Amino acid sequence: MTVAVDRDFGAWTVFDGDTTSIVSSEEFLLGDTFAKYPNQMFIIENRHLDPRGPKSVAQVYTQEELVLLEKAALEYGVEIRAFSAKKTPGAQDYIGIGELLAEARSKKDTKTLRELKCRDAEAIWHYAPLHPAYLMKWPRKNQHLDEALTEQRDDMSLRLNIMRPNYDSPEVEHAEELIRKMLPEMSDELKYQGGQGFGSNNKPIRILKGNSPRRGQADFKNTFVMSIYVATFTEGGLLRRDPKTGQPIGKKWFNSLLKQHAFNDKGGTARSNLMYWHLANFERSTKDQRSVEEKRKAFKAVRHELFRGFQKHGQ
């Protein structure tokens, strides 16, 4: 049996496929609901399983209380799966209450809204098993790494947003210096992709190929270069470190900083720059006749080439 649980209006709603029950936060923490459904899978929105902080709204329990909840689940053989809250609207649509919720909100019909929101657990119960990618084991073994990723993505986004729209900062100057050092060993593909911009309107970084402008120059779009730069370096030009090893980040952590998954639809400004301002337009570009698969492979290669070049010359 699968049991879905959601929390609204100060209490937990529990749906077991047949019946719905309302449980207080205190009662749920004690494990009484787990005792009622031993050895079953419980699906709970992920935001309710994060520790409560000073400004928390959806988070119910402190970190210490979450430890007690985990112990109660283990005692009764319960397996908890966290369901992405970002996907709850899809679950609501699946059982036919999405439009009704929107109508109730527009009319400010609080009674109907409350009645419909209390069906979220039912919606999740029907929808989540059809989409296992939206389910995550809880507690997460590497939660501290997830938190570190979020912290580093926020740092990257903040710095990029400060740079825009002029891209005039010591960090840009540092990137120019590093690219100048990389030019003799740089692939033609990186020069091509880094300079195209593919629809991005911000001004390029202009790198002289020698000491004299007469020897030509190479242009690199800021959205591309600086998105890789902030992933490679912390503020101040220091190489970003892997929180697990303390060493400069490797390919795996670099990829994690720039990717998103079902539990984090907010990949950050750097990822948006690369995916939407660069890769998406690159795929649609008619200047390059390569297939979409070939373009994606080439994009991945130059992204890693610039990252490795920054690390090599930025030590």
Region 70-78 average pLDDT = 94
* pLDDT given at position 127: 96
* pLDDT given at position 223: 86
- Model confidence at 202, pLDDT cuts 50, 70, 90, reads low
Region 30-56 average pLDDT = 89
Q: What amino acid is encoded at 193 in this protein?
A: Q
* pLDDT given at position 308: 95
- Name residue, tokens 């909100």: 105
**37 versus 153: which is more confidently predicted?**
37
The three-state secondary structure class of 118 is coil
Summarize pLDDT for 158-188 with one digit per residue, the tens: 898 888 777 778 898 899 899 989 988 999 8
* pLDDT given at position 283: 84
The three-state secondary structure class of 124 is helix
By mean pLDDT, which of 3-7, 93-97, 268-272 is the weakest?
268-272
Question: Is 263 a residue whose pLDDT tops 60?
Answer: no
DSSP string, 146-189: HHHHHHHHHHHHHHHHHHTTTT-SHHHHHHHHHHHHHGGG--HH
* pLDDT given at position 209: 53
The four Cα atoms 118, 123, 124, 125 give a dihedral, to 10 degrees, of 100
* pLDDT given at position 144: 65
Region 190-195 average pLDDT = 85
Question: Is 2 a residue whose pLDDT tops 70?
Answer: yes
What kind of fold does domain 2-137 have according to CATH? Nucleotidyltransferase; domain 5 (3.30.420)
Question: Is 16 a residue whose pLDDT tops 90?
Answer: yes
Which of 126, 117, 143 has the alpha carbon at shortest distance from 46?
143
Region 28-33 average pLDDT = 94
* pLDDT given at position 261: 45
Summarize pLDDT for 212-253 with one digit per residue, the tens: 444 456 788 888 899 999 999 999 899 999 888 889 999 888
DSSP string, 199-254: T--SPEEEEESSSSGGG-EEEEEHHHHHHHHHHHB-TTSPBPB-TTTSSBP-HHHH
Mean model confidence pLDDT for the chain: 86
Find out whether 225 and 193 touch, Cβ atoms under 8 Å.
no
- Model confidence at 30, pLDDT cuts 50, 70, 90, reads very high
* pLDDT given at position 95: 96
Summarize pLDDT for 76-88 with one digit per residue, the tens: 999 999 999 989 9
Residues 6+ apart with CB under 8 A from 268: 153, 154, 156, 157, 257, 258
Q: State the Cα angle at 132 between 149 and 142, rounded to 5°.
A: 30
Residues of the chain with CATH 3.30.420: 2-137
Distance CA 138, CA 145 (A): 14
What Cα–Cα distance (Å) separates residue 305 from each residue in 40, 154, 182, 189, 296? Answer: 48, 24, 10, 10, 14
By mean pLDDT, which of 20-24, 70-74, 134-138 is the weakest?
134-138
Distance CA 229, CA 171 (A): 8
Token pair of 43, please?
């699906």
Region 48-65 average pLDDT = 82
- Model confidence at 267, pLDDT cuts 50, 70, 90, reads low
